[in-house]
Structure 1
Amino acid sequence: MKNIKYFLLALLLASGISGFAQKGKKPNIVLIFCDDLGYGDLGVYGHPTIATPNLDRLAFEGQKWTSFYASAPVCTPSRAGLVTGRLAVRSGMASENRRVLFPDSGGGLPQEEISIARQLKKGGYATGIIGKWHLGHLPEHTPIAHGFDYYFGIPYSNDMDRIKDGEYFSTVKEAEPEYFNVPLIRNTEEIERPANQRTITKRYTEEAVKFIENHKKEPFFLYLAHSMPHVPLFPSEEFEGKSSRGVYGDVVEEIDWSVGEVIRSLKKNRLDENTLVIFTSDNGPWLIFEEQGGSAGLLKGGKGGTYEGGMREPAIFWWPGKIQPSVVQGQGSTLDFFPTFSALAGIALPDDRLYDGFDISGALFGKGKSPRDVTFYYRDEEVYAVRKGDYKVHFITREAYARNKDKTIHNPPLLFNISHDPSERVNVAAKHPELIAEFESLLEKHKRTVKPVENQLEK
């Protein structure tokens, strides 16, 4: 009897120590990022004909944010903001003349910038990116040069390196994989060219699962950045024709399958209760591609512009036992990932530069509201609109892909209550002149924090 008591006591003590050690572990972080996914493109965000059961489940079990923003309305500046926690204009990763990087670009994310990967490596994290990078393909700008231990993916957009003759839009809509000579890179080595885009989502998923398996005994950061649903659209054979929404839906449903595979891997390796999983996208839907572009739901506009549909994104946060099921209406941004991940990993923010993000971990864990109350809507190097609280002011508007001469400067600016009117239909500027003055002051104060730097996109 005495031996049994000692055994039970030892078991309880061991259990307590184990539990304490589990609490002291640094969390794994898995960031799943889409390209050109619209606010209305998931079932849980209201799409009637795209089935996303895995993402719907994550949203029901975790947090669904309804006012979460990409840092820019196009790929390169958006990803620069995510990776650095700083608006792209601060690193020279935004341009009016060349809105994103191209295969002939000479620039990229400067070495002076500190990436999320480099930051988390200070805390002993293994770091990997699988998928689209689009922050520079030259040696000094690659993921490996910016702190990632492992890279597998396409260095820029999947519609680049086009070798098929003909007008761009029709060529992309009727695309075959051999029309594009994009390379597939592992670390710093080109392993396939052209990349077989019909299998790319499946291979990204397999690589993500391998990364989790290989690093299950240490804290890791996995950035899974899908190349789609950016055009050209290439679902795998298993998903072709599966969706009621056509080829766009096929691609999104395959990404949903991929999310399910990642979650299954975390559960299989008993990592789910110590892993924060996030799902969001880089900008809104590319509406000019009609049925091959997505939907912003009730929001106005899409990719390339500063109406809500260009930058407000679906955003789901999942961490069993840590994040309680809820819907968060407060503002958040991809700029907030850098300070939030740093806080979760117990790493101090560098004090030699200005950050545009906030630590939103309190809001994730139900300990308060999001600290973000202001969002600046940059189009390239210029602020077109600002949101503060319920209101959003447009100083400048322009069609998503119109030329600079087509922009409209509003005097007085347009003002919308986007809690009441998320579709930005009813201009209430005449009723609130005091808010216009407040927003103008806010913008001027922000502009004073932006210092000129070398433009990387125009090199």
Structure 2
Amino acid sequence: MRFPGKLCILVLYFLGSTFSSRAQVKTSRPNIVLINMDDMGYGDPTCYGGGPYQTPQIDALAASGVRFTEFYAAQAVCSASRSALLTGCYPTRIGISGALDHNAKFALNPNETTLPEMLKSVGYATGMVGKWHLGHKQPYLPLQNGFDEFFGLPYSNDMWAYDYNGERWKDTSFWRAKYPPLPLIDGNETVKIIDGFDDQDGLTSAYTQRAVSFIQSNHKKPFFLYFAHSMVHVPLGASAKFKGKSGAGLFGDVMEEVDWSVGEVIKVLKANKVYDNTIVIFTSDNGPWLTFGNHAGNTGGLREGKGTAWDGGLKVPCIISWPGHTKAGTVSNRLLTNMDLLPTLADICKAQLPQQKIDGVDFKAVLLGDQRAVPRDEFAYYYDRNNLKAIRKENWKLVFPATSQTYGPPATIGGDRYPGKYAQADIPMALYDLSTDPGEDRDVQAQYPEIVKQLSEIANRYRKALGDGLTNSVGTEIRPAAQLQ
């Protein structure tokens, strides 16, 4: 049977429209690559002032999207920060604190909705490469928390029975000597033991290869890759092709290798023609571990570092590139946190938010260039198990009296793999204007008593909801972590 010419054209138009519609549906949800560095300071990438090593791939990512200058981790320590990123909650709300190891008695509660679980519900393939740190054994590993694939370590790469010179601890009574072998896990099974510095040197390369493989295998459907590097956490490790090449010591070598890794991810996205439909996020879990001296990064002039509630411990680099949506070369000074990624991605990917209360806010408008949008104007600085150390409102930060860890005198700074020693300092109440004093050096509470009062009232609201160990307050909205047997 022959169709009249006009009818044939109509049929072809209908079929074309149908296929076009299907193609649009297929690409309506962008892919997501979330690169989370370990202990990379605010001032470490060269686009944030780092060097003398080079990070051209990270810099190119910033040039193609938005570089945030007021982006914070929810806490200045590994497990707590990662729980916030994956759940959109203050760690205090969900019972997570510190850095979990093989002796941990708690883990991320399976009742919490994670970012990969949220994305899986709308059809995403989900993969994780790198450091997990939210529960070291089943049923608390990544595959039980929304990921289809996992390749990496259950916790930090220094949680092993080795001295800082790479040899096993000879004093078996020392607490570090009691660590079990450090397992590299594929799925739920250990496939290799990280045994000495040579194995540490290969982590970035092995992770990158697996990340590239995941993208290649899943590029025909929406995918979420959570790439959580073990570097630049100590012990530092760089492969032979990067070791000694930066001219800036081992830390510089490691920075250049993780920069190469970012480039490999971008390269495979482009090779598989999905780069234009992929959101790439680059950030860090907390500030630098300064006690390691030349094996640690820098805060870009901010006060203190990892393990403190000063901005050097919590303010981190964050770059987000989304071709066709983010304006290239944009710099945003909006206050945001890693908790805010989950609700923002929920909006973009048309996924439902978790049913339980979260603390993150949706900043899609900022990402798309709305200069008037202010999705967040306050932040609670929690640290230790549940101590409210400070409150930020706009550019004001009110610090509460507490005894805190410090890298200042009489602490010492180490180097060449060996750490110095922390000290403790009694911190008085102080008010800082971060717009003119980002180093938190000039207390202006006497000049602004009304600001002190306002921030103190905000603090009381957090104490009521989330608690505060400094004032023996028990929060009414906190949820328990999972308890391990």
What's the TM-score, normalizing by structure 1? 0.90
Which whole-Å CA distance do the structure 2 matches of 1:90 and 1:275 have between them?
Answer: 31
**Which runs of 5 or more residues in structure 2 are unaligned?**
170-176, 412-420, 467-475
Does residue 153 (structure 1) correspond to residue 169 (structure 2)? The answer is: no
1:16 shift after superposition: 10
Q: What does 1:58-457 correspond to in 2, within 5 Å?
A: 58-94=61-97, 99-162=98-161, 164=162, 171-172=163-164, 174-175=165-166, 181-194=181-194, 196-325=199-328, 326-351=330-355, 353-367=356-370, 368-380=372-384, 381-397=386-402, 398-400=404-406, 406=424, 408=426, 410=428, 413-450=429-466, 451=476, 452-454=478-480
Aligned AA (1:358): V
Q: Equivalent of 2:49, from 46, 51, 55?
A: 46
Does residue 22 (structure 1) correspond to residue 24 (structure 2)? The answer is: yes
What is the SS of the residue equivalent to 1:130? strand
Aligned AA (1:143): P
Assess if the C-alpha contact under 8 Å between 2:79 and 2:100 holds in 1: yes
Aligned AA (1:116): L
What is the SS of the residue equivalent to 1:276? strand
Aligned AA (2:189): E
What is the SS of the residue equivalent to 2:185? strand
Aligned AA (1:343): D
Give the direction of change, closer, same or farther, for the CA distance of 1:409–1:132 in structure 2 (3 Å limit).
same
Q: Deviations over 1:122-167 (max 9, x none)?
A: 11111111000000112021111111110000110000122x3xxx
What is the SS of the residue equivalent to 1:140? coil
Assess if the C-alpha contact under 8 Å between 1:42 and 1:50 holds in 2: no
Which whole-Å CA distance do the structure 1 matches of 2:327 and 2:18 have between them?
Answer: 24
Which whole-Å CA distance do the structure 1 matches of 2:482 and 2:394 have between them?
Answer: 33
Assess if the C-alpha contact under 8 Å between 1:385 and 1:396 holds in 2: no
What is the SS of the residue equivalent to 2:405? coil
1:11 shift after superposition: 9.0
Which whole-Å CA distance do the structure 1 matches of 2:375 and 2:168 have between them?
Answer: 44
Aligned AA (2:28): K
1:255 shift after superposition: 0.4
What is the SS of the residue equivalent to 2:392? strand
What is the SS of the residue equivalent to 1:346? coil
Which whole-Å CA distance do the structure 2 matches of 1:364 and 1:19 have between them?
Answer: 26
Give the direction of change, closer, same or farther, for the CA distance of 1:177–1:228 in structure 2 (3 Å limit).
farther
Which whole-Å CA distance do the structure 2 matches of 1:219 and 1:231 have between them?
Answer: 34
What is the SS of the residue equivalent to 1:313? coil
Give the direction of change, closer, same or farther, for the CA distance of 1:237–1:85 in structure 2 (3 Å limit).
same
Which whole-Å CA distance do the structure 2 matches of 1:435 and 1:344 have between them?
Answer: 36
Assess if the C-alpha contact under 8 Å between 1:393 and 1:416 holds in 2: yes
Which whole-Å CA distance do the structure 2 matches of 1:422 and 1:409 have between them?
Answer: 17
1:406 shift after superposition: 4.5
Which whole-Å CA distance do the structure 1 matches of 2:188 and 2:108 have between them?
Answer: 16
How many percent of aligned residue pairs carry the same amino acid? 40
Give the direction of change, closer, same or farther, for the CA distance of 1:238–1:347 in structure 2 (3 Å limit).
same
Aligned AA (1:125): Y
Which whole-Å CA distance do the structure 1 matches of 2:312 and 2:422 have between them?
Answer: 20
Assess if the C-alpha contact under 8 Å between 1:76 and 1:100 holds in 2: yes
Assess if the C-alpha contact under 8 Å between 1:92 and 1:457 holds in 2: no
Which whole-Å CA distance do the structure 2 matches of 1:261 and 1:10 have between them?
Answer: 41
What's the TM-score, normalizing by structure 2? 0.85
Aligned AA (1:377): Y
Partner of 2:173: none
Give the direction of change, closer, same or farther, for the CA distance of 1:127–1:455 in structure 2 (3 Å limit).
closer
Q: Deviations over 1:262-293 (max 9, x none)?
A: 00000111101111000000000000000011
- C-alpha RMSD of the superposition: 2.8
Give the direction of change, closer, same or farther, for the CA distance of 1:72–1:102 in structure 2 (3 Å limit).
same
Which whole-Å CA distance do the structure 2 matches of 1:341 and 1:80 have between them?
Answer: 16
**Which runs of 5 or more residues in structure 1 are unaligned?**
165-170
What is the SS of the residue equivalent to 2:69? strand
Which whole-Å CA distance do the structure 1 matches of 2:110 and 2:211 have between them?
Answer: 26
Q: For this pair of structures, how many residues does the alignment match? A: 442
Give the direction of change, closer, same or farther, for the CA distance of 1:176–1:320 in structure 2 (3 Å limit).
farther
1:453 shift after superposition: 4.6
Of 370-379 and 275-284, the range deviating more from structure 2: 370-379
1:375 shift after superposition: 1.2
1:100 shift after superposition: 1.5
